[in-house]
Copies of this chain bind each other. A is one copy, B any other.
Amino acid sequence: MAQKSAKGKIFNDPVYGFIFVPYGIIFDLIEHHFFQRLRRIKQVSLTHYVYPGALHTRFHHALGAFHLMTQTIEILRNKGVDINEAEAEAVSIAILLHDIGHGPFSHTLENTLINIHHEDLSTLFMNRLNEEFGGALDLAIEIFNDDYPRHFLHQLVSGQLDMDRLDYLNRDSFFTGVYEGVVGYDRILKMLSVHQDELVVEQKGIYSIEKFLIARRLMYWQVYLHKTVLAAEQMLIKAILRAKELIRNGAALPMPHNLAYFFHKDLNEDNAETYRDELLDHFAVLDDFDIIYALKLWTKSEDEVLSYLSKGLINRRLFRMELQNEPFSEKDLQSVRQRIQNMKLFPADTIHYLLIKGKETNSAYSTSKDEIKILFKNGSILPMSESTDFDVPSKITTKYFLCYPKEAI
């Protein structure tokens, strides 16, 4: 810890013990209210409805990923990889801010609240901070956008074996209690190296990488795509969409002011730059609390659909979720549709808010994009998929879901 200097602040982290943050720009960015907002955005959305400990935030995750980056820089330098001070600081800033564009409930509402990908929002935030900090984030932004020639720096921020994934797998395992997702991050970090500005893993780390891929796969199906979590998230999406529709139709729905902005303004990637400051000003004060507060208000809405969804979310009366490997047949759908109608609670034209179908796809590892590279003792370098007799879990698995009120039996 505290390598470069004794001056800094120590955060207690149940996952890593202590996280040292040196005074300077890193510390100042953490203190910035843009970053403090991440304290009010849960890392894994509504997962705590299944795993009650999973209340950790994007703030904590960003600090954790920064911590791993600090360690990695030191390990690489000790192996003779030349990383100058400016690069070290820049890559640390890049990982610290990689998720700063996440909105309330992170991925769940990603394209529902605002039609802009969170990484693009992160870029908008970084540019704005760069102005505030007088250009001090130039190199960090270059690395984040993969415009810097030393590719491995970007790979540490965003790749198939980056500090982001290592931290979130560990952190999500820790707070959910699904310890099977724990990754031997310290061993993996020790195996990292750099060859011609590309990130590589030393040969003896192969088994740890296999384990890492399987842990990721497990976390997807056991946690991130857990059927009850999916049900809650789908309900949340539908509640927001229903509220949007009501507003479009002229209803005077009570809700936080800053949330209303996003309901009324049609923002997307094309106009994001135009409205940047206005957008950021509103986004920078938007968090999970606004959504939960709105849902609490809406439990009393006159709209049966919105109040039903809101009460379900607040009081944890979640939809039944069916998951299967094949798409659901029209017959299946028809049967559920009928049962929902039998509830006699909702207007006929609102059934698509209550009968939710969709699919989730997942692949723990991709062999089509920038693969993890293994450095063999003889100096050769091979992609992971060709480095082991183990079959990397690269198949894309699709699961189809059907989700509806429990009362619709």
Contacts and interface: CB of A to CB of B under 8 A. Distances in A.
A17 interface: yes
A57 B59 contact: no
A60 to B, nearest CB: 5
Contacts of A165: none
A55 B52 contact: no
A42 to B, nearest CB: 8
A395 interface: yes
A39 interface: yes
Interface in A78-114: 78-80
A383 interface: no
Interface stretch (A154-162, A204-212, A243-251): A204-212
Interface in A176-226: 176-180, 182, 184, 186-187, 190, 207-208, 210-211, 214-215, 217-218, 221-222
A40 interface: yes
Interface in A382-398: 389-391, 393, 395, 397
A346 interface: no
A224 to B, nearest CB: 12
Contacts of A177: 12-15, 17
Contact of A176 (B12, B51, B292, B395): B12
Nearest to A207: B218
Contacts of A180: 184, 187, 207-208, 211
A316 interface: yes
B289 A14 contact: no
16 contacts: A1-B190, A2-B75, A3-B3, A5-B78, A12-B178, A13-B53, A14-B175, A15-B177, A52-B57, A53-B175, A55-B57, A179-B184, A211-B215, A214-B214, A285-B296, A289-B293
Given A12-B177, A53-B56, 20 more contacts: A2-B74, A10-B190, A12-B51, A12-B52, A14-B53, A14-B174, A14-B175, A14-B176, A18-B186, A33-B314, A52-B57, A53-B175, A55-B55, A178-B184, A207-B217, A211-B214, A214-B390, A256-B293, A389-B397, A391-B391
